[in-house]
Amino acid sequence: MLLLILTLTISMTGAPPVLSASSDAPREMDSKKEEAEAAFKKLDEAMSQARDAYFEPLNKAQKEGVSPEEMSMIELDPDLLPIKVVGPKILKAIEKYVGTEVALEQCSELLYLASREESQAWMFDRVSDLMITHYLESESLKNFCTRAHYMGDSPANVKLLRSIFADSPHRDVKASSGYALAKVLGSSKDTREEGLELLKKIGSDFGDVVYYRDTVYGDKVKGDLFEMEHLQIGCVAPEIIGKEVFGNLMQLSSFRGKVVLLDFWGDW
């Protein structure tokens, strides 16, 4: 009788709430995702409007046929800078919906914008900390890493890339974060040696990972290594031998000690 009572008690009071919570979880996640997507869509529209307002003087001048010289004299209002106007609102939404993939996408966009404005470094610091705390296991970090080396060598960017490279469980994310970190470190004379060694590691340990389309990291880093070792300020320029416009043979070393303008062009 005691066993029967216990069984009935568990069946009547224990199971239903657990099953209900389990079945409601996916719905709650879907609801949060939809809510986040709607919120960020509105913020994207706000950012677009902010850009229009910021560049309005230039657009107006262009429509009026103002000369390029006069256009270059137009000063834009720094208080209307889009990242300054809308950025804090995007950050607030990221903090609210952190953990969702759509919030991670916004993290990447906000980092890119904040990296271009020194006055918004605080925003870069905050967003990068959120990414380290909530997204290190996401495979979508690869999307951020592919352009992270264009975001400068700030301590926050270096810290974020180091964290991703060290802790991501995904090999393609490790490859992209390590490559970006190597490029960032290689851009500074003080950390160039570390950048060189890391580039070599990416080429050897992740050489078969796809960088872009048919290019793998094993091939991609070859050009980067040459650039880092031979095309830095203070390096002796590599020899270039070819024909000039009149068909005469020329070589770059014959101009050593002179100021040389190299004009590269192409047709696509």
Q: What are the DSSP calls for 47-75, one per residue? A: HHHHHHHHHHHHHHHHHTT--HHHHTTPP
Which tens digits make up the pLDDT trace of 198-211?
999 999 999 999 99
Q: Does the pTM of the predicted model rise above 0.85?
A: no
Query: What band does 234 get if pLDDT is binned at 50, 70 and 90?
Result: confident
Q: How many CA atoms lie within 13 A of 30 on its CB side?
A: 5
Query: What is the rounded average pLDDT for all residues in the chain?
Result: 90
Handedness of CA 49, 126, 26, 137 (dihedral sign): positive
Quick check: 3 pLDDT over 70?
no
DSSP 237: P
How many C-beta neighbours within 10 Å does residue 216 have?
17
Q: So where are the chain's domains?
A: 33-135, 140-236
In the structure encoding, which two tokens stand for residue 209, read together? 């990972």
Quick check: 8 pLDDT over 70?
no
Return the pLDDT at 22. Answer: 52
Q: What are the DSSP calls for 215-231, one per residue? A: EEHHHHHHHHHHHHHHS
One-letter amino acid for residue 118 of the chain:
E
Query: What band does 237 get if pLDDT is binned at 50, 70 and 90?
Result: confident
Return the pLDDT at 209. Answer: 98
How many C-beta neighbours within 10 Å does residue 209 have?
19
pLDDT over 70 percentage in the chain: 90
In the structure encoding, which two tokens stand for residue 78, read together? 């720094």
Q: What are the DSSP calls for 159-220, one per residue? A: HHHHHHHHH-S-HHHHHHHHHHHHHHHHTSGGGHHHHHHHHHHHHHHSTTSEEETTEEHHHH
Asked whether the beta carbons of 152 and 146 are under 8 A apart, the reply is no
In the structure encoding, which two tokens stand for residue 14, read together? 């224990």
Asked whether the beta carbons of 129 and 155 are under 8 A apart, the reply is no
Quick check: 13 pLDDT over 80?
no
Residue 98: C-alpha distances to residues 17, 24, 132, 189 (Å): 27, 20, 12, 36
Which tens digits make up the pLDDT trace of 143-191?
999 999 999 999 999 999 999 999 999 999 999 999 999 999 999 999 9
Return the pLDDT at 96. Answer: 97
Rounded distance, CA 214 to CA 218, Å?
12
Query: What band does 2 get if pLDDT is binned at 50, 70 and 90?
Result: very low
Return the pLDDT at 263. Answer: 80
